[in-house]
Each structure stands twice: as structure tokens, then as C-alpha cells.
Structure 1
């Protein structure tokens, strides 16, 4: 798994590639939590994530809580049907806005 963070139009973008499971979740957590410090608008691009375990869900929830504490919003981009199903079944989908593309995610945050 690979995780990168950058800024697009003052919005923090976290991009993950590969599987987010018990082995890779700590790296995802470390990179993501460092990137979102002080941020209230975050996009997490999951377009290239093929698997998300409960450990990955836990990290997403941590990100959500930290951003929400600043009255912010988190948008998930490119979430596969399988991952959306997992998130729907666990109730996690209600915490996030979903977008198909990065541009759509940016639009959601700019109009929020």
C-alpha cells in the first residue's frame, strides 16, 4: 500500500493505493493524521484501493472525528461498490460524502 498527501485549492488530499488492512492501516493512519492536522476540508481518494478491512474503517473514523471536531467535512472519492457496501453495512457511509471524481469532491467541499 502507498499513501500520499497533498493540497489542492487549500483542501487536503490523501491518496491511497492498494489494500488497507491490519498490516497497512498504521502507515495509512500515520500519514493521514499528520496531513489533516488543523484541516477542516479533507478528500480521501480511494480510487486505487482494492480492499478495506475493519482496521481501515477505524482509521477513516479517526479522520472523520478529527475533521468533524473542527466543523469540517470529509469526502471520499472513487470508493468501489464493495467498499461502499462494507461501509453501508457498518453504518460508516453516513459519516462521509461520496464523489466519483476529484473534481466532484472539490465541488462538494466548495459548496458546503
Structure 2
């Protein structure tokens, strides 16, 4: 799994490439959870994301909880249909905000 992080206009863009499974979930946690700073605005670009295991789902849930606790916002963009189906089957879809770069304008930070 490869993770690229960059900050632009108050939004932390995180690109995830590859698989998020038991082997890579610890690295994901080490790199991503610290981004949940007060009022963080995080956009996860999942266009190159290929697979998620239950360990990976747990990492997404931990990140979402940390972002909510910090009064921030987490958006998942361009999740492939087969991975979105995993979120749907587990009930996780109700816990996250999803968007597609094909149908929505670029992500904007929320005014507080």
C-alpha cells in the first residue's frame, strides 16, 4: 500500500493506492490517525484503492471517530464499487461521507 499526503487550501488530501489489509493496517494507522487534528478537513482519494479487509475497515472507523472527536470532516472520494459494496454490507456506509470526482465539484472545506 502507498499513501501520499499533501495539504492544499486547508484540506489534507490523502491518496491511498493498493490494499489495506492486516499487513498494511498498522502503517495506515501510523500515517493517517495523526492527521485528525482539531477541525481537520481530510479527503481520502481512493481511486487507486484496490482491496479492504476487516482490519482496513477498522482503520477507517478509527479515523472517522478521531475526526469526529476533533470536530473535523472526513470525505471518501472515488471508492470503487466493489469496495463500496463492502462498506454497504457491513453498514459502514452510514458512517461516512462519500463523493465522486465525476459527479461533484472539488471538495471544499466546511465553514465553521
Shorter chain as denominator, the TM-score bin is 0.7 to 0.9
Deviations 1:2-57 (A, max 9, x none): 11211121111111100111001111111101233334311111110110111111
**Which segments of 5 or more consecutive residues in structure 2 lack a partner in the other structure?**
none
- Which residue pairs with 2:98 in the alignment? 98
**Which segments of 5 or more consecutive residues in structure 1 lack a partner in the other structure?**
none
Q: 1:96, CA displacement in angstroms?
A: 1.2
- Which residue pairs with 1:22 in the alignment? 22
Greater share of helix? 1
- Which residue pairs with 2:71 in the alignment? 71
| Equivalent pair of 1:16/1:48 in contact (CA under 8 Å) | yes
TM-score (norm 2): 0.87
Q: CA RMSD in A?
A: 2.1
TM-score (norm 1): 0.87
